[in-house]
Amino acid sequence: MQTEVFSDIFPLLSTANPQTLEWLLNTAVEHEYPSGRAVLMEDAWGNAVYFLVSGWVKIRRTNGDNSVTIAILGRGDFFGEMAVLDESPRSTDVIALSPVTLLTVSRERFIQILFKDPQLHHRMLQLMVRRLRQINIRLQMRSSPPAVKLAHTLVHLGDNYGQNSPEGKEIFDIPLKDLAEVTEIGIEETTKIMEKLHEKGWIKIDPVNNFIYLVNFKQLQNLANKL
Protein backbone atom coordinates (compact mmCIF):
# COMPACT_ATOMS: atom_id res chain seq x y z
CA MET A 1 0.00 0.00 0.00
CA GLN A 2 1.30 3.47 -0.87
CA THR A 3 1.73 6.05 1.89
CA GLU A 4 -0.72 8.43 0.18
CA VAL A 5 -3.45 5.80 0.19
CA PHE A 6 -2.73 4.91 3.81
CA SER A 7 -2.93 8.54 4.98
CA ASP A 8 -6.20 8.98 3.03
CA ILE A 9 -7.75 5.98 4.79
CA PHE A 10 -6.48 7.12 8.21
CA PRO A 11 -6.97 10.90 8.52
CA LEU A 12 -5.31 10.91 11.94
CA LEU A 13 -2.02 10.05 10.23
CA SER A 14 -2.34 12.62 7.45
CA THR A 15 0.12 15.00 9.16
CA ALA A 16 2.71 12.32 9.87
CA ASN A 17 6.10 12.54 8.19
CA PRO A 18 6.03 10.55 4.88
CA GLN A 19 9.15 8.70 6.02
CA THR A 20 7.36 7.70 9.22
CA LEU A 21 4.41 6.36 7.23
CA GLU A 22 6.72 4.45 4.93
CA TRP A 23 8.50 2.89 7.91
CA LEU A 24 5.16 2.03 9.52
CA LEU A 25 3.92 0.33 6.35
CA ASN A 26 7.16 -1.60 5.99
CA THR A 27 6.75 -3.02 9.49
CA ALA A 28 2.99 -3.65 9.30
CA VAL A 29 1.50 -7.09 8.69
CA GLU A 30 -1.77 -7.49 6.77
CA HIS A 31 -4.52 -9.80 8.05
CA GLU A 32 -7.92 -10.69 6.63
CA TYR A 33 -10.85 -12.01 8.67
CA PRO A 34 -14.29 -13.26 7.60
CA SER A 35 -17.47 -12.00 9.21
CA GLY A 36 -17.98 -13.38 12.71
CA ARG A 37 -14.32 -14.20 13.32
CA ALA A 38 -12.57 -13.01 16.50
CA VAL A 39 -9.96 -10.42 15.51
CA LEU A 40 -8.53 -9.81 18.98
CA MET A 41 -9.14 -11.77 22.16
CA GLU A 42 -9.03 -10.31 25.65
CA ASP A 43 -5.66 -11.87 26.50
CA ALA A 44 -3.95 -10.41 23.39
CA TRP A 45 -4.42 -6.68 24.09
CA GLY A 46 -1.16 -4.77 24.33
CA ASN A 47 0.74 -6.81 21.74
CA ALA A 48 0.02 -4.60 18.71
CA VAL A 49 -1.94 -1.71 17.23
CA TYR A 50 -4.60 -2.63 14.66
CA PHE A 51 -5.43 -0.39 11.68
CA LEU A 52 -8.81 -1.08 10.08
CA VAL A 53 -8.26 -0.82 6.30
CA SER A 54 -11.71 -2.12 5.35
CA GLY A 55 -14.77 -3.61 7.01
CA TRP A 56 -16.51 -3.23 10.36
CA VAL A 57 -15.78 -4.62 13.81
CA LYS A 58 -17.40 -4.53 17.22
CA ILE A 59 -15.61 -4.20 20.53
CA ARG A 60 -17.23 -6.47 23.07
CA ARG A 61 -16.87 -6.45 26.84
CA THR A 62 -16.79 -9.98 28.18
CA ASN A 63 -17.68 -11.32 31.61
CA GLY A 64 -17.58 -15.08 31.69
CA ASP A 65 -20.13 -16.34 29.18
CA ASN A 66 -21.80 -12.93 28.90
CA SER A 67 -20.76 -10.20 26.47
CA VAL A 68 -21.97 -6.71 25.59
CA THR A 69 -21.02 -4.65 22.54
CA ILE A 70 -19.56 -1.32 23.70
CA ALA A 71 -18.30 0.15 20.42
CA ILE A 72 -18.49 -0.25 16.65
CA LEU A 73 -15.57 0.76 14.44
CA GLY A 74 -15.27 1.09 10.68
CA ARG A 75 -12.74 1.79 7.95
CA GLY A 76 -10.11 4.36 8.89
CA ASP A 77 -10.17 3.71 12.63
CA PHE A 78 -7.74 1.75 14.75
CA PHE A 79 -7.61 0.12 18.15
CA GLY A 80 -5.17 -1.36 20.63
CA GLU A 81 -3.08 1.80 21.04
CA MET A 82 -4.17 2.49 24.63
CA ALA A 83 -3.39 -1.06 25.73
CA VAL A 84 0.04 -0.73 24.11
CA LEU A 85 0.76 2.47 26.03
CA ASP A 86 -0.60 1.57 29.48
CA GLU A 87 0.08 -2.20 29.35
CA SER A 88 -3.12 -2.94 31.28
CA PRO A 89 -5.09 -6.19 30.89
CA ARG A 90 -8.37 -5.97 29.00
CA SER A 91 -11.67 -7.81 29.44
CA THR A 92 -12.76 -6.99 25.89
CA ASP A 93 -12.45 -8.68 22.53
CA VAL A 94 -12.94 -7.57 18.92
CA ILE A 95 -15.21 -9.41 16.49
CA ALA A 96 -15.53 -8.86 12.73
CA LEU A 97 -19.05 -7.77 11.75
CA SER A 98 -18.15 -8.00 8.06
CA PRO A 99 -15.14 -9.23 6.09
CA VAL A 100 -12.24 -7.22 7.50
CA THR A 101 -8.74 -6.25 6.38
CA LEU A 102 -6.33 -5.08 9.08
CA LEU A 103 -2.77 -3.89 9.28
CA THR A 104 -1.03 -4.68 12.57
CA VAL A 105 2.03 -2.97 13.99
CA SER A 106 3.79 -4.58 16.94
CA ARG A 107 3.94 -2.80 20.27
CA GLU A 108 7.69 -2.22 20.04
CA ARG A 109 7.51 -0.81 16.51
CA PHE A 110 4.55 1.43 17.31
CA ILE A 111 6.30 3.00 20.31
CA GLN A 112 9.40 3.56 18.19
CA ILE A 113 7.25 5.29 15.56
CA LEU A 114 5.74 7.63 18.16
CA PHE A 115 9.22 8.64 19.35
CA LYS A 116 10.39 9.17 15.77
CA ASP A 117 7.56 11.56 14.86
CA PRO A 118 6.45 14.15 17.49
CA GLN A 119 3.61 15.28 15.21
CA LEU A 120 2.15 11.77 15.21
CA HIS A 121 2.60 11.59 18.97
CA HIS A 122 0.59 14.82 19.31
CA ARG A 123 -2.18 13.54 17.03
CA MET A 124 -2.39 10.35 19.08
CA LEU A 125 -2.97 12.43 22.22
CA GLN A 126 -5.68 14.34 20.36
CA LEU A 127 -7.38 11.06 19.50
CA MET A 128 -7.39 9.94 23.13
CA VAL A 129 -8.90 13.25 24.24
CA ARG A 130 -11.57 12.93 21.55
CA ARG A 131 -12.46 9.41 22.69
CA LEU A 132 -12.73 10.59 26.30
CA ARG A 133 -15.11 13.34 25.16
CA GLN A 134 -17.22 10.76 23.34
CA ILE A 135 -17.45 8.74 26.56
CA ASN A 136 -18.55 11.87 28.44
CA ILE A 137 -21.24 12.57 25.82
CA ARG A 138 -22.54 9.01 26.17
CA LEU A 139 -22.72 9.43 29.95
CA GLN A 140 -24.64 12.71 29.51
CA MET A 141 -27.08 11.01 27.15
CA ARG A 142 -28.04 8.17 29.49
CA SER A 143 -31.18 10.03 30.56
CA SER A 144 -32.11 11.05 26.98
CA PRO A 145 -35.07 9.45 25.16
CA PRO A 146 -34.22 6.21 23.30
CA ALA A 147 -34.87 7.77 19.87
CA VAL A 148 -32.39 10.57 20.60
CA LYS A 149 -29.75 8.10 21.77
CA LEU A 150 -30.20 5.88 18.70
CA ALA A 151 -30.06 8.88 16.35
CA HIS A 152 -26.82 9.92 18.05
CA THR A 153 -25.33 6.46 17.43
CA LEU A 154 -26.33 6.53 13.75
CA VAL A 155 -24.97 10.05 13.27
CA HIS A 156 -21.71 9.08 14.97
CA LEU A 157 -21.30 6.08 12.65
CA GLY A 158 -22.20 8.18 9.62
CA ASP A 159 -19.83 11.01 10.53
CA ASN A 160 -16.89 8.74 11.27
CA TYR A 161 -17.27 5.88 8.81
CA GLY A 162 -20.10 6.68 6.38
CA GLN A 163 -19.47 6.62 2.64
CA ASN A 164 -21.33 9.11 0.45
CA SER A 165 -23.75 7.54 -2.04
CA PRO A 166 -26.76 8.69 -4.10
CA GLU A 167 -29.00 7.21 -1.38
CA GLY A 168 -27.27 9.12 1.44
CA LYS A 169 -24.50 8.25 3.87
CA GLU A 170 -23.89 4.50 3.65
CA ILE A 171 -22.98 2.49 6.74
CA PHE A 172 -22.94 -1.21 7.51
CA ASP A 173 -26.25 -2.80 8.50
CA ILE A 174 -25.29 -3.27 12.16
CA PRO A 175 -27.12 -6.20 13.81
CA LEU A 176 -29.94 -4.82 15.97
CA LYS A 177 -28.58 -6.48 19.10
CA ASP A 178 -25.21 -4.76 18.71
CA LEU A 179 -26.86 -1.46 17.80
CA ALA A 180 -29.05 -1.69 20.91
CA GLU A 181 -26.15 -2.53 23.21
CA VAL A 182 -23.95 0.29 21.93
CA THR A 183 -26.84 2.74 22.31
CA GLU A 184 -27.71 1.30 25.73
CA ILE A 185 -31.39 0.76 24.97
CA GLY A 186 -33.50 -2.37 24.61
CA ILE A 187 -33.56 -4.37 21.41
CA GLU A 188 -37.35 -4.02 21.11
CA GLU A 189 -37.05 -0.23 21.36
CA THR A 190 -34.24 -0.27 18.82
CA THR A 191 -36.36 -2.30 16.39
CA LYS A 192 -39.36 0.02 16.74
CA ILE A 193 -37.29 3.19 16.35
CA MET A 194 -35.47 1.86 13.29
CA GLU A 195 -38.82 0.93 11.73
CA LYS A 196 -40.19 4.41 12.46
CA LEU A 197 -37.09 6.11 11.00
CA HIS A 198 -37.51 3.93 7.91
CA GLU A 199 -41.20 4.88 7.62
CA LYS A 200 -40.30 8.58 7.89
CA GLY A 201 -37.78 8.15 5.07
CA TRP A 202 -34.86 9.21 7.23
CA ILE A 203 -33.08 5.89 6.75
CA LYS A 204 -33.25 3.11 4.18
CA ILE A 205 -32.25 -0.45 5.07
CA ASP A 206 -30.80 -2.72 2.40
CA PRO A 207 -30.56 -6.18 4.05
CA VAL A 208 -29.44 -7.85 0.80
CA ASN A 209 -26.22 -5.81 0.58
CA ASN A 210 -25.95 -5.22 4.35
CA PHE A 211 -26.21 -1.44 4.16
CA ILE A 212 -28.10 1.23 6.05
CA TYR A 213 -28.49 4.49 4.16
CA LEU A 214 -28.82 7.61 6.29
CA VAL A 215 -31.06 9.34 3.78
CA ASN A 216 -32.02 12.44 5.79
CA PHE A 217 -28.82 13.00 7.71
CA LYS A 218 -29.73 16.53 8.76
CA GLN A 219 -32.95 15.38 10.44
CA LEU A 220 -31.04 12.64 12.25
CA GLN A 221 -28.53 15.23 13.45
CA ASN A 222 -31.34 17.47 14.72
CA LEU A 223 -32.85 14.54 16.62
CA ALA A 224 -29.47 13.50 18.02
CA ASN A 225 -28.83 17.03 19.34
CA LYS A 226 -31.94 16.98 21.54
CA LEU A 227 -29.94 16.10 24.66
Tens of pLDDT along 125-183?
787 788 788 878 877 878 899 999 999 999 999 999 999 999 999 999 999 999 999 99
- Co-location of 10 and 111 in the same domain: yes
Domains: count for the chain: 2
CA distance linking residue 204 with residue 119, whole number of Å: 40
Query: Is the CB of residue 49 less than 8 Å from the CB of residue 90?
Result: no
Provide mean pLDDT across the span 60-79: 90
Domain that holds residue 186: 144-224
Tell me the CA end-to-end span of the chain in Å, nearest whole number: 42
The SS3 of residue 33 is strand
Angle ∠(43,62,143) on CA atoms, nearest 5? 135
- Co-location of 74 and 155 in the same domain: no
- Co-location of 123 and 37 in the same domain: yes
- Co-location of 131 and 159 in the same domain: no
Q: What rounded mean pLDDT belongs to the chain?
A: 88
- Co-location of 126 and 17 in the same domain: yes
Angle ∠(73,77,83) on CA atoms, nearest 5? 90
**Cα 9 from chain centroid (whole Å):** 13
Query: Which pTM was predicted?
Result: 0.89
Angle ∠(5,9,11) on CA atoms, nearest 5? 110
Query: Is the CB of residue 191 less than 8 Å from the CB of residue 159?
Result: no
Angle ∠(111,39,205) on CA atoms, nearest 5? 120
The CA-based dihedral angle spanning residues 112, 74, 188, 214, taken in that order and rounded to the nearest 10 degrees: 140
Task: Render pLDDT for 56-65 as a digit per residue (tens, 0 to 9).
Answer: 999 999 887 7
Provide mean pLDDT across the span 104-133: 82
- Co-location of 84 and 167 in the same domain: no
Q: Tell whether the model's pLDDT for residue 24 goes beyond 80.
A: yes
Last residue of a domain, one of 139, 155, 182: 139
- Co-location of 36 and 71 in the same domain: yes
The SS3 of residue 65 is coil
- Co-location of 127 and 20 in the same domain: yes
